[in-house]
Chain A
Amino acid sequence: LTLHEGELRQLWAHGIYENEYVKEDGKWKFKKLHFFLNFRTPYEDGWLKTPVVGHNGPSLEVPPDAPPTTWRPYPFGYHFPVHFKHPITGK
């Protein structure tokens, strides 16, 4: 839920995680978390009409250490690179 054009709206949000993990003292933990947002759209509109609503840009209350590295939501057409190698060719 978020306010959009002065109204409380229900949302779809969709994106991709590319994360890294590390094993420490026998437990797996997040080492790096990166959520790439594709769209966050009001239910009634859809990604084509309204790709991204809601909180945009770095937080003023909790400022980040650096600006976003990959902020290219729909309809930018950006393909977030895959971390894995091809399972057969190894490329």
Chain B
Amino acid sequence: MNLEELEKQVTLQEDIQEIENLQKIYGYYFDNSMYAEVIDLFSENTESVEITDHGVFRSKEAVVKMYSGMVVMPRPGWMFFEVMQSQGVIDVAPDGKTATGRWYTPSFECRPFGGTKKQTWQFGVYSNEYIKENGHWYFKKLHWNLTYWTSYERGFLKVPRLSDTPFPNADAPATAYHPYPSGYHVPYPFKHPVTGK
């Protein structure tokens, strides 16, 4: 390996680490309702954000609109959500300017449903895109696919999803909303590491 190849390898490893941190940090900010910090993780050239059946929000302005809409009253202590950002696979494009990432998201929650507190499980898959600008990695596209959203006691077989949650101010309806038991597999952004297919 010559010096140029070595430099390229080091940059690739740094890129992967930075993207992993970006996604994990997004998770902590999101769980803590730090939406101003979340918005700053998105590129000025953001393509879109799509979460479950909320709908598609296109461009950075729409991203600001969507997350700003989530700013709620101070939450009582019992109301929370914690989303694990797990099993990430990052693929950086050969030119080192864009990347894709796929993640699983098991999560715990407690929120009000019609005046009662409900503890819930939520599970899904991220298929995201990232872009490197001015030496930093940003979100270019975020898409979180819901697998199930169920009550703690009843489980995903009995209750695959608790309610529909489209946002009225979305630019377009959800492009892919196929929760359990549809059997839908979110397409893999990555190639097979051995066969390359």
Contact = CB atoms under 8 A, between A and B. Distances in A.
Interface of A: 14, 38, 46-49, 74-79, 82, 84, 86-89
B35 interface: no
Contacts, number: 55
Interface stretch (B21-29, B58-66, B87-95, B165-173): B21-29
B152 A79 contact: no
Nearest to B26: A87
A14 B82 contact: yes
B7 interface: no
B117 interface: yes
Given A48-B78, A74-B77, A77-B77, A88 B119 contact: no
B77 A75 contact: yes
Contacts of B110: 47-48, 75
Contacts of B117: 48
Contacts of B137: 87
B80 A87 contact: no
A74 B80 contact: yes
B117 to A, nearest CB: 6
Interface string B28-39: 100010000100
Nearest to A82: B28
A75 B78 contact: yes
A87 B119 CA distance: 32
Is the contact region of chain B dominated by helix, strand, or loop, or is it mixed?
A: mixed
Q: What is the interface of chain A mostly: helix, strand, loop, or mixed?
A: loop
A82 to B, nearest CB: 5
A82 B17 CA distance: 18
24 contacts: A14-B108, A38-B82, A46-B153, A47-B108, A47-B110, A48-B110, A48-B117, A48-B118, A75-B77, A75-B78, A75-B80, A79-B32, A82-B32, A84-B21, A86-B25, A86-B40, A87-B18, A87-B21, A87-B22, A87-B137, A88-B40, A88-B41, A88-B138, A89-B40
Interface string B96-111: 0000000000001010
A48 B82 CA distance: 14
Interface in B119-136: 119, 136
B119 A48 contact: yes
B191 interface: no
B152 A87 contact: no
